[in-house]
């Protein structure tokens, strides 16, 4: 059993928080994992990506080989396209459809979405709308984690447990908001 996931988004969208939750849940389930991330310059509105590998046997490379990712989980549609070559032919895309336009040459939105749709197994989520419904646009990352939750080889209860751990120090209401965001994302995939 193994699962290789590319996490993607823009600096500030909380990609590493998604990774934190999955990493800790994996440790809890005694799965091996490796998670390579980018720090430094990319913090200021630049592209951010993380290679997350889960397996019940040994994991070697910190980077996922091109064509081997089982899933691209992305909080931004243009960022999804950036890592397409990592996706396995039968791989799954779970992406936000809400663009983050902080560059002058952001391509036509419909073009971006259409390219994503060309991949058979693509699920597009209106993460911005759902995050606002949960209480804050900042919870888009947890909406997306929720959307991916049924497809991850990690148990939902462990994901929820570490969402709790992640936000606990900042108050009950923030925990609840993020958990609601998680559930809204999860439901959006079903319908």
| Tokens representing residue 24 in the block | 């800790």
- Residue count at the site for other proteins (CB under 8 A)? 52
* Choices 22-30, 131-139, 145-153, 175-183; region in contact with other proteins by CB under 8 A: 22-30
6 near other proteins (CB under 8 A) = no
Give just the sign of the alpha carbon dihedral 133, 139, 140, 142: negative
68 near other proteins (CB under 8 A) = yes
113 near other proteins (CB under 8 A) = no
Tell me how far apart the alpha carbons of residues 53 and 61 are, in angstroms, rounded to a whole number. 9
* Choices 83-91, 135-143, 151-159, 178-186; region in contact with other proteins by CB under 8 A: 83-91
1 near other proteins (CB under 8 A) = no
42 near other proteins (CB under 8 A) = yes
43 near other proteins (CB under 8 A) = yes
Q: Is 136 exposed, middle or buried (0-12, 13-18, 19+ CB in 10 A)?
A: middle
Torsions phi, psi for 47 (to 5 deg)? -70, 135
Tell me how far apart the alpha carbons of residues 23 and 133 are, in angstroms, rounded to a whole number. 27
Quote the DSSP letter at residue 39.
-
**Which stretches of the chain bind other proteins, using CB under 8 A?**
10-11, 19, 23-24, 27, 32-47, 59-68, 78-79, 81-82, 84-89, 91, 102-103, 105-107, 111, 115, 118-119
């Amino acid at each position: 059993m193994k699962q290789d996931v590319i996490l993607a988004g823009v600096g500030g969208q909380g990609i590493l928080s998604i990774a934190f939750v999955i990493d800790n849940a994996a440790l809890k389930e005694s799965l091996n994992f490796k998670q390579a991330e980018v720090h430094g310059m990319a913090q200021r509105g630049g592209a951010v990506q993380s290679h997350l590998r889960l397996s019940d046997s040994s994991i070697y490379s910190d980077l996922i080989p091109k064509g081997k990712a089982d899933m691209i989980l992305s909080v931004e549609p243009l960022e999804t396209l950036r890592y397409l070559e990592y996706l396995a032919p039968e791989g799954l895309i779970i992406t936000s459809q809400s663009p983050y336009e902080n560059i002058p040459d952001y391509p036509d939105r419909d073009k971006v979405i259409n390219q994503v749709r060309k991949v058979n197994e693509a699920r597009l989520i209106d993460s911005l709308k759902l995050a606002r419904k949960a209480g804050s646009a900042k919870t888009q990352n947890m909406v997306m984690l929720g959307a991916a939750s049924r497809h991850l080889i990690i148990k939902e209860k462990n994901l929820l447990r570490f969402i709790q751990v992640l936000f606990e120090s900042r108050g009950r209401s923030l925990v609840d908001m993020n958990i609601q965001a998680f559930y809204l994302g999860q439901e959006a995939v079903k319908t």
